[in-house]
Structure 1
Amino acid sequence: MENGNSNNNHTINGNYETAGKVITCKAAVAYGPGQPLVVEEILVDPPKAMEVRLRILFTSICHTDLSAWQGENEAQRVFPRILGHEASGLIESVGEGVTDLKPGDHVVPIFNGECGKCAYCKSDKTNLCERFRVNPFKSVMTNDGKTRFSTKEGGKPIYHFLNTSTFSEYTVLDSGCVVKIDSQAPLKKMTLLSCGVSTGLGAVWNTADVQAGATIAVFGLGAVGLAVVEGARARGATKIIGVDINPEKRTKGEAIGITDFINPNDVDKPVHLVIREMTGGGVHYSFECAGNLDVLREAFLSTHDGWGMTVVLGIHPSPRLLPLHPMELFDGRRIVGSVFGDFKGKTQLPAFAKQCMSGEVKLDEFITHELPFNKINEAFQLLIDGKSLRCLLHL
């Protein structure tokens, strides 16, 4: 690495010779939909006003990275691009005007930022932000509409992804998309707070506000779905039903906290009828984590009429609309979406990190594989094959 910090023991003294300079480092660049990522040297510019440059130490792969890499949505096909949005690391340098972060701070990036000043950030009814809300189509920095990445040969622009772009040894983010956490927190595990665990668990704690004694059904037992399970377990739910067509998910689900497992391929009736029979009319809450509209309808119908709530967490790339008739809502069932678990990232994530440190939330089960960064394509294949929840990449 040229002009970079090659310190591998993850200790930082806060005095960077690289501040204000272009850094040459390695990144995994996506050049086209479905093409293997190319780990190569790139150039990373210094942060501009209200931006920060991070040294990424750990990153992992989420299904959102996978769908973007595969080009599932034509409007997202912006290449070359640096994907990735789950990570942890250290502040290398800060741009003009940044006062809440400094070099050496332990941080996690967040794709759904918080400026703290707009009407949305000041409202207690949303965790969206006028400037830094999640936007999968955004590929440049907010400041000037340009990128901070470029190719080493020729200096051609490389585009950003989800306000973060963590598949790089160094990355530049808006300061509103960076959260400072306790320096004693294990950065390796804190990577999970950037997306999957916060999204799933927050949907239980914040969006649905599940209470002790409740019954829930989780459709799709990937990392987000299992984070829902963990959140429900921590809240004292009495019945946690996991639904997945992958039979191997049963073991992982039971390790985290499901009480029952349903494989739709093994039952002779719609899943919602099975769940209604198991629960005396339906669960209090269902969580759709599969990104499939047919699954969403089953999740909706699996809740109890009169008071059931369905929380949508899956990403739906299809142009199809909701498979519901408006009159079905008159039975008292509700449906709501949840972004980043309704956490306000910069405001609430530091406290959540401490809850994880104290053992109130268990994170170990979510990291199923670990690989060096240069094996990122193998990590993608593990996710495609359904073998990993989160494969942690060490940079």
Structure 2
Amino acid sequence: MEQAEISTETSSTVITCWAAIAWTANAPLSIEKVEVDPPKPGEVRIKIISSGLCGTDKHILDGKNKVPLPAILGHEGAGIVESIGEGVTSVKPGDKVLTFPIPECKECQFCLHPKGNMCLKEKVLSPTGLMLDGTSRFTCRGRKIYNLFGTSTFTEYTVVHEIAVGKIDAAAPMDKVCIMSCAVPTGFGAVFNTARVTPGSTCVVFGLGGVGLAVVMGCKASGASRIIGVDINEKKFPPARALGVTDCLNPRNLKKPVQEVVKEMTGGGVDFAFEVIGNTDTVVAALESCHMSYGVCVMVGESPSNSRLSFDPILLLPERSLKGSIMGEYKTRSCIPKLVTDYIQKKFNTDPLITHQLPFQKINEAFELLHGGYCIRCVLLF
């Protein structure tokens, strides 16, 4: 693969580079040359160094989650600022940065609230595939290409709004920290900020992928006495046990619903349940696994577009709680760079979540690994 074609002075020029394009769902990604426009006011153009593959990207390729296509997917990226648009002050060319699918404008009611993190300028709940001005920065074959969640990291260069970019420590290992853009804060925050897992508690985690195992790590760090892991892929059980899971369950091998087994194992239910798959049936199973009176169920996975939850409301009446958590309730630009610094200072180690690293041009092989359950997190290197 040729190197990206870049002029000596790129801040006001179009960059021609390679990107993986999803022309349609249920088809392999196509690696093609794209033109990446210069950043407009308030925008940042970034040279991507690494990008993680998230289950959400897979759901989009599988047609379960609807976004405008053709698009450049990917939202878990680490890179270096190449150029900035007018008015950008928080980063400069040469800075190491992360891209965030949930921005932080620091101006709207949710950004200003001490708890809220769902910035009003987000592009996740109702993805338009366009920048805030309603246009695109990508062109391929003379056709405009949509972005994903205002990020798009399956490309050598991307353009992101300043409100979705966070400067990180210059010492950050760029082949490792891309998972701090999504998987790690999503999992950790679901435990520390949303559920607030307590020492000595019992937990169940549905889905033992990258985010699910970040949840497991958070539960262990919180002092949970028992962590039950649920997955239909038993290849994930050994790494799950290594990270803190005490009991592993494969629902396909059980003679009764998994939630019934969990309740039998825990004397009526767990204190905290996490659904990290993105499936309405497992959300209900996780909720039913919770103890009444004080059980807390946290929905972390993104369920298919237009799906609906259906359960007996009596489950909630005896004071069970069902909560949603996106990006772990972290205010992205304010909080996540601090997580990177803590990682560098070895306050925690998320390296075991990355089981595979592949060159960018092997992105379809990476998705095959993810689809087959052979990896926890695969990182693409550019």
Kindly report the root-mean-square deviation, in angstroms, between the aligned alpha carbons of the 2 structures. 1.5
Q: Distance in 2 between matches of 1:359 and 1:52?
A: 30
Q: 1:203-222 to 2 correspondence within 5 Å? A: 203-222=190-209
* Aligned position for 1:182: 169
Which stretch has the larger CA shift, 179-188 or 323-332? Answer: 323-332
Query: Aligned-pair distance for 1:359?
Result: 2.5
* Aligned position for 1:122: 112
1:331 aligns with 2:331: no
The letter for the 1-side match of 2:40 is: K
* Aligned position for 1:366: 353
Match 2:288 to one of 277, 280, 301? 301
1:102 aligns with 2:104: no
Match 1:91 to one of 70, 77, 81? 81
* Aligned position for 2:308: 321
Q: Distance in 2 between matches of 1:354 and 1:272?
A: 38
Query: Aligned-pair distance for 1:355?
Result: 1.9
Q: 1:156-305 to 2 correspondence within 5 Å? A: 156-305=143-292
Query: Aligned-pair distance for 1:71?
Result: 2.2
Q: Closer, same or farther in 2 for the Cα pair 1:235/1:371, shift >3 Å?
A: same
Find the residue that maps to 1:249 and give its secondary structure. helix
Number of residue equivalences: 380
Q: 1:141-156 to 2 correspondence within 5 Å? A: 141-142=131-132, 144-151=133-140, 153=141, 155-156=142-143
Q: Distance in 2 between matches of 1:266 and 1:65?
A: 29
Q: Distance in 1 between matches of 2:372 and 2:4?
A: 36
Instruction: Give TM-score, length-normalised by structure 1.
Output: 0.93
Query: Aligned-pair distance for 1:136?
Result: 5.4
Find the residue that maps to 1:187 and give its secondary structure. coil
Which stretch has the larger CA shift, 210-219 or 88-97? Answer: 210-219
Query: Aligned-pair distance for 1:257?
Result: 1.0
* Aligned position for 2:13: 21
Does the 8 Å CA contact 1:136/1:161 hold for their aligned counterparts? no
1:393 aligns with 2:380: yes
* Aligned position for 1:12: none
Does the 8 Å CA contact 1:234/1:361 hold for their aligned counterparts? no
* Aligned position for 1:69: 61
Query: Aligned-pair distance for 1:277?
Result: 2.2
Q: Distance in 2 between matches of 1:174 and 1:139?
A: 13
Q: Closer, same or farther in 2 for the Cα pair 1:136/1:224, shift >3 Å?
A: farther
Find the residue that maps to 1:108 and give its secondary structure. strand
Query: Aligned-pair distance for 1:68?
Result: 1.3
Query: Aligned-pair distance for 1:207?
Result: 0.7
Does the 8 Å CA contact 1:230/1:362 hold for their aligned counterparts? no
Does the 8 Å CA contact 2:193/2:329 hold for their aligned counterparts? yes
Q: Distance in 1 between matches of 2:307 and 2:158?
A: 35
Q: Distance in 2 between matches of 1:138 and 1:298?
A: 32
* Aligned position for 1:52: 44
Q: 1:27-46 to 2 correspondence within 5 Å? A: 27-46=19-38
* Aligned position for 1:8: none
Does the 8 Å CA contact 1:60/1:191 hold for their aligned counterparts? yes
Does the 8 Å CA contact 1:221/1:249 hold for their aligned counterparts? yes
Residue deviations 1:103-157, cap 9 Å, x none?
Answer: 1111010000000111110001311111135345221110x21100112x4x321
The letter for the 2-side match of 1:106 is: K
Residue deviations 1:290-335, cap 9 Å, x none?
Answer: 2222211221111111000000011111544222222321111010
The letter for the 2-side match of 1:56 is: I
The letter for the 2-side match of 1:233 is: K
Which stretch has the larger CA shift, 290-299 or 223-232? Answer: 290-299
The answer for unaligned runs of 5 or more in structure 2 is none
Q: Closer, same or farther in 2 for the Cα pair 1:146/1:107, shift >3 Å?
A: same
Does the 8 Å CA contact 2:4/2:156 hold for their aligned counterparts? no
Does the 8 Å CA contact 1:59/1:191 hold for their aligned counterparts? yes
Q: Distance in 2 between matches of 1:209 and 1:90?
A: 34
Q: Distance in 2 between matches of 1:237 and 1:376?
A: 37
Report the identity percentage. 45
Find the residue that maps to 1:305 and give its secondary structure. coil
Q: Distance in 2 between matches of 1:235 and 1:375?
A: 37
Q: Closer, same or farther in 2 for the Cα pair 1:2/1:374, shift >3 Å?
A: closer
Runs of 4+ in 1 over 4 A off after TM superposition: none
The answer for unaligned runs of 5 or more in structure 1 is 6-15
Residue deviations 1:29-73, cap 9 Å, x none?
Answer: 111112221112111111001000000000121111112122224
Does the 8 Å CA contact 1:58/1:188 hold for their aligned counterparts? yes
Q: Distance in 2 between matches of 1:136 and 1:62?
A: 19
The letter for the 2-side match of 1:301 is: E
Match 1:382 to one of 369, 376, 379? 369
Which stretch has the larger CA shift, 29-38 or 379-388? Answer: 29-38
Find the residue that maps to 1:87 and give its secondary structure. strand
Find the residue that maps to 1:132 and give its secondary structure. coil
Q: Distance in 2 between matches of 1:392 and 1:59?
A: 6
Q: Distance in 2 between matches of 1:310 and 1:320?
A: 19
Query: Aligned-pair distance for 1:19?
Result: 1.3
Which stretch has the larger CA shift, 167-176 or 361-370? Answer: 361-370
